[in-house]
Amino acid sequence: MPIHPTAIVDDSCEISADAQIGPYCIIGPHTRIGAGSRLDSHITIQGWTTIGERCHFYSHCSVGTDPQDLKYKGETTRLQIGNDNVFREFVSLNRGTRGGHGVTVIGNNNFLMAYSHVAHDCTVGDYVIMANAATLAGHVLVGDHATVGAFSAVHQFCRVGPHSFIGGFSVITRDALPYIKTVGARNEAKIYGINTIGLQRKGFSEQSITELKQFYRICFRSNLNTGDALAKTGERQWTAPEISILVQFMESSERGFIR
């Protein structure tokens, strides 16, 4: 049976005919659930949530709940989830706030392991992995193919760049650079080279990886300050498109980045 008889579903919900709602789930108002999505048991969706197709929520997830923000006064905000995502046990996902942009967004093909948390107004891209108990504070932006290690925390308003790797038990209080490994505790987090294995697994060319390593050495291992390092890298013709993405990320950082 697509909707288990013990589930409680608000009349305003729009649920695809082939979505599965398991035992003791509670689905609040104005929730949309797409084709092929599956909710196991004891999952709560507070409401104002859109879930795409073929998403799988394991038991005891808490979805579309009020933002944990003292400024929140009950206004209508949303949670938007794309397709083909996996949310393991006890994952928690908050809606946005009026002071943010009103919506928390999670893209496609993401894997959020047990007890991970996405706070209000975050934007999570595609193919992101959040390991057990990884935590995003409010307004965090996570780029495509990023990995946030177990028990790591990302400070509010920080960015995690595409294809970056954050090691377990790290505390991220500034931006984590794209294509680069970042590991460490508060005020001690550091970068540890290009995420070579991750990039190879994703099919990056050897030329791109080689140029990223060369750029890394100039920018972060030459004892130049950021401005001088970027000026020096600007003198060279790079063929890898990833270099321009990394430079733009560095130049647009508002909180500064870990190096």
Tokens 């944990």 belong to which residue?
A: 68
Nearest CA-CA partner of 189 in 171, 177, 209: 171
Decide: residue 229, CB within 10 A, 0-12 exposed, 13-18 middle, 19+ buried.
Answer: buried
Backbone angles phi, psi at 240, to 5 degrees: -75, 125
Q: Which helix (H) or strand (E) holds 111?
A: strand 111-112
Catalytic residue among 120, 139, 145, 155: 120
Residues of the chain with CATH 2.160.10.10: 8-139
Q: Which of 123, 120, 112 is nearest to 152 (CA)?
A: 112
CA 12 to chain centroid: 29
φ and ψ of 119, to 5 deg: -85, 180
121 assigned to active site: yes
- From first to last of its 259 residues, the chain has per-residue pLDDT tens of 699 999 999 999 999 999 999 999 999 999 999 999 999 999 999 999 999 999 999 999 999 999 999 999 999 999 999 999 999 999 999 999 999 989 999 999 999 999 999 999 999 999 999 999 999 999 999 999 999 999 999 999 999 999 999 999 999 999 999 999 999 987 789 999 999 999 999 999 999 999 999 999 999 999 899 999 999 999 999 999 999 999 999 999 999 999 9
Q: Closest Cα to residue 75, out of 93, 94, 96?
A: 96
Catalytic position from the list 121, 126, 144, 175: 121
What is 199-251's CATH superfamily?
Answer: Udp N-acetylglucosamine O-acyltransferase, C-terminal domain (1.20.1180.10)
Catalytic residue among 22, 107, 138, 198: 138
The model carries a pTM of 0.97
Half-sphere exposure of 157 (CA within 13 A, CB side): 6
Q: Are 29 and 12 in contact (CB under 8 A)?
A: yes
Q: Residues 77, 48: contact at Cβ < 8 Å?
A: yes
Tell me yes or no: is domain 8-139 CATH 1.10.10.60.
no
Contact 91, 79 (CB under 8 A): no
Task: Give the whole-angstrom CA distance, residue 27 versus residue 138.
Answer: 24
Active-site residue 193, yes or no?
no
Dihedral (CA of 241, 246, 251, 252) sign: positive
Range list for CATH 1.20.1180.10 in the chain: 199-251
The answer to whether 17 and 2 are in contact (CB under 8 A) is yes
